[in-house]
Structure 1
């Protein structure tokens, strides 16, 4: 989906509404899954994978299941450098044979990152923004540092409208990764991107994993109401 020119006036703060209704989805025949979508977008591109390690404890399991994002990105991108602030995870990834991975902070180690390649097509930030204390400050700084070196920012974040959240609330529960600071909607994600100087281009509702075919009713729901999927992917111009 794409925001129209009318919505951009709200994103940019030119217009204000305390009850604006925005169409964010329509029925789809295909259930998109997050990994395959990201992999297809970066195919043949030069990319940075921010937060490439995921969680150290689950790397081996995800490799066995072919769901570790960094591995999948490396298989399809022309060039992929992974960066992470988890030193132990980076050392482990290197031991697996991945050479183009760096233990560094993207906001502090620009020279090191650009020493691998001076220009990139896409910066991939998969499930990263929700872990950051001040996402607007982070995004503003990121854009100011790399606007001459990177063309697009590709983000995936938890969807506030995910059906699992509604089911949990129905049962008086909150279902949460305890390191998360935020959930996002398409509008709120686009809003902080615009405030930070980026230009959102397109977004998708995806599932982190594709539901098994045996989950017939889940598949019907996710096709007819994509907004209930658990993840939002958005691509923006630097």
Structure 2
């Protein structure tokens, strides 16, 4: 299996190189005027879980949509629920989810009742606001919302200046999307409303209200899985976009 995987990645590397060269004319001349460059330096690609865990370390973290409904029980049993992977490294961790069924299932399976029912497209419960998170983890949530802009507005109005927001969303140029398009189909979760790019994500978290601290790409790998050489060469084709924003407000004394 390892040999087969290496061969497949080798073929992918050759194909990506050929595709890059053959399509370069599409981004030259008039096409170059539409190019948008990421407004931060040192863009890289990481294992998504490893990156999130490290960013949450030693912080008070609010984790939105943490149950991964309807896969809560399966993720808990398999030991891969992100909330449980983040929990050991945080100072305090509070879970927020809009599914009462999934919350009950999580609490029963783990014995952890530091969770709250709430809808981020409506308002944040008082218990969440008084928690005063240092970091809000918003991972693989926005693409499920019919109106993500409304959720971002409510988030901005609810939390204080300097609060960090770690966002991850599916990448519109991920390898799975590329493979699907070349085969005249589309690879997408049926519950998703949106694709995202670095540019459109930064439009959603606009620079008048949020400051972009970091932006990278990630792979949906199990924890501690190493990123291979091919992906490191083509980070913009990772599975997801991972960005850290800071809420900025002109607070008066």
TM-score range, shorter chain: 0.7 to 0.9
Corresponding residue SS for 2:146: coil
- 2:35 paired residue number: 20
Runs of 4+ with >4 A deviation: 23-28, 210-213
Are 2:57 and 1:43 aligned? yes
- 2:208 and 2:154 map into 1 onto residues whose CA distance is 8
Which residue, out of 220, 238, 251, partners 1:229?
A: 238
Residues 32-181 of structure 1 aligned to structure 2 (within 5 Å): 32-56=46-70, 58-96=71-109, 97-106=111-120, 107-115=122-130, 117=131, 119-147=132-160, 151-181=163-193
Alignment partner of 1:204 out of 195, 213, 216: 216
Query: Residues 198 and 71 from structure 1, CA distance in 2 versus in 1: closer, same or farther, beyond 3 angstroms?
Result: same
Q: Which runs of 5+ in 2 are unaligned?
A: 1-31, 248-253
Distance in 1 (alpha carbons) for counterparts of 2:87 and 2:56? 10
How much has 1:27 moved relative to structure 2? 9.0
The TM-score with structure 2 as length reference comes to 0.76
8 Å Cα contact 2:73-2:106 kept in structure 1: no
For normalisation by structure 1, the TM-score amounts to 0.80
RMSD: 2.7
Provide the rounded CA distance (Å) in 2 between the counterparts of 1:136 and 1:207. 25
Report the number of matched residues.
213
Structure 1 alignment gaps of length 5 or more? 1-16
Write the distance in 1 (CA, Å) between the matches of 2:89 and 2:167.
18
Q: 2:229 aligns with which of 220, 225, 231?
A: 220
Tell which structure's C-alpha radius of gyration is larger: 2
| Other structure's SS at 1:120 match | coil
Distance across 1 between alignment mates of 2:153 and 2:73: 34
Q: Using the alignment, how far apart are the partners of 2:182 and 2:85 within structure 1? A: 36
Q: Deviations over 1:140-171 (max 9, x none)?
A: 121012135x7111100000010111111111
Instruction: Name the SS of the counterpart of 1:199 in structure 2.
Output: strand
What SS does the corresponding residue of 1:182 show, helix, strand or coil?
A: coil
The question of whether the paired residues in 1 share the 8 Å contact of 2:49 and 2:223 is answered with: no
- What's the CA shift for 1:139? 0.5
Structure 1 residues 192, 220: closer, same or farther in 2, change over 3 A?
Answer: same
- When residues 84 and 210 of structure 1 are mapped into structure 2, their CA distance, relative to the original with a 3 A threshold, is closer
Alpha-carbon displacement from aligned partner over 1:103-142 (angstroms, at most 9, x marks no partner) = 1224424313235x2x210010110011111222220121
